[in-house]
Structure 1
Amino acid sequence: MPISIAIADDHNLVAEAISDLVQKFDNYEVLFVAGNGRDLLNRLQRGPIPDIALVDLNMPEMDGFETTSQLRQLHPSVRVLALSMTDREEHIVRMVRNGARGYLLKDCRPSELRRALDDVTTKGFYYSDFLTHQLIRSMNLPDVAGPVSYFNLNKREFNFLKLACSELTYNEIADKMCVSPRTVDGYREAVFQKMNVRTRVGMALEAVRKGLVEL
């Protein structure tokens, strides 16, 4: 069965253009186009429920931030992919915290939209280099003393996590921690396992969601 898509955008021409583009992708179909977040939620009450919702940030009645939060509570199976004309860091991070699985600029290429839909479908998320860079830049790391209870991380693992949520390489992290690169590899594997993630990007985003790093 094709992957079902709902679109929420108050600009009719933009919404219809996105809909026409998605319909051309193999294995995807657009169920409906909603004019705002409230309209989207009302449509979902009547069904059917889409697999993915493409949600604009700036909409009347209910914006993308509130829409994404409501979808996470009322329809957790719907994966939200944010669409926006802005690359403001606070908007990106807020959407991710509210439950968005990815963030796309509206001037992206059709190939990137297709890749984002594919990744959200197969992996559950789409984090481009742009999104990762914006999120990492927005992080301010708090000082924490003593062992950390989050995810049962010990002090050294949490120190590694803080350093990894930056643009330092793993070798540079090893220098900062005064340990060997092999020891850092061990910290990485332990943190990945405890946080149930598989990549550095996933670890950083999970740290944001859980409040391990503050904005």
Structure 2
Amino acid sequence: MQSKEIRIAVVDDHTLFRQGISRLLLENEEISIVFDAANGAAMKEKIAHHPLPDVVLMDITMPLVDGYEATRWLKQNYPQVKVLALSMFEDDEPIIKMLKCGAGGYILKESNASDLMYAIKTIAEHDYFLNELVSGKLLRSIQDDVKAPDPIADLTANEIKFLEMCCSELTYKEIAGKMCLSPHTIDNYRDALFQKLDLKSRTGLVIFALKNNISAY
């Protein structure tokens, strides 16, 4: 029995890349290219005037409307269309962000033709494509969002204020004056935070504050 043809749209701001990948994919009889677009804005215009693609190969960094916004728009308006993100980047942030925007998978532009075809067929059939790169990062994303406790959830308002002031050049005694508290109370805040956060120095407190965006200085 003949396999169902997979309709593809290619969205990328590099003309030569779009043309090259389209020619490459058309060598496979199971693939048809319904349109290509230079960015998410052009994709929005073209998708209404062409057969609906099964899979969109979506670049991330594009002018006007980037891959993140274009993917969100697609999933809101055409949820049946699968998005396979394409990028030069191997960093956690763009991969996780594209998956959160609704992409069903991610593949590097430097991948070979057989890997790309496998990714397209997999996402078309199963709605997702998880390779080693994506699965590890997706797992970390889920762990970060769901399992990791909020590091400042157990801190009191005064402890957070104390952490903010630790990022200044004020001494502990001066912090006590600013907070209208005794130096002894400030020492207690410091020691309690050392224990709660498993830290041993003011530098550790400052780094924690900066990493968790609770520094006003």
| Partner residue in 1 for 2:124 | 121
Once residues 60 and 122 of structure 2 are traced to their aligned partners in structure 1, the CA distance between those partners, rounded to angstroms, is: 21
Structure 1 residue 142 corresponds to structure 2 residue 145? no
| Partner residue in 1 for 2:14 | 11
Once residues 51 and 27 of structure 1 are traced to their aligned partners in structure 2, the CA distance between those partners, rounded to angstroms, is: 12
**Secondary structure class of the residue paired with 1:65:** helix
Report the AA paired with residue 121 of structure 1: A
**Secondary structure class of the residue paired with 2:48:** helix
| Partner residue in 1 for 2:105 | 102
Q: TM-score by structure 1 length?
A: 0.64
User: Shift in Å at residue 135 of structure 1?
Assistant: 2.6
Name the larger-Rg structure.
Answer: 2
User: Shift in Å at residue 97 of structure 1?
Assistant: 0.8
Once residues 28 and 51 of structure 2 are traced to their aligned partners in structure 1, the CA distance between those partners, rounded to angstroms, is: 20
Q: TM-score by structure 2 length?
A: 0.63
User: Shift in Å at residue 33 of structure 1?
Assistant: 1.1
| Partner residue in 1 for 2:92 | 89
CA contact (8 A) 2:35 2:50 kept: no
| Partner residue in 2 for 1:62 | 65
Once residues 95 and 83 of structure 1 are traced to their aligned partners in structure 2, the CA distance between those partners, rounded to angstroms, is: 10
Q: Which residue of 35, 41, 46 maps to 2:44?
A: 41
CA contact (8 A) 2:34 2:50 kept: no
| Percent of matched pairs sharing the same residue | 35
Once residues 13 and 119 of structure 1 are traced to their aligned partners in structure 2, the CA distance between those partners, rounded to angstroms, is: 26
Q: Which runs of 5+ in 2 are unaligned?
A: 151-217
Structure 1 residue 131 corresponds to structure 2 residue 134? yes
Q: Which runs of 5+ in 1 are unaligned?
A: 145-215
**Secondary structure class of the residue paired with 1:31:** strand
Report the AA paired with residue 77 of structure 1: Q
Once residues 40 and 73 of structure 1 are traced to their aligned partners in structure 2, the CA distance between those partners, rounded to angstroms, is: 14
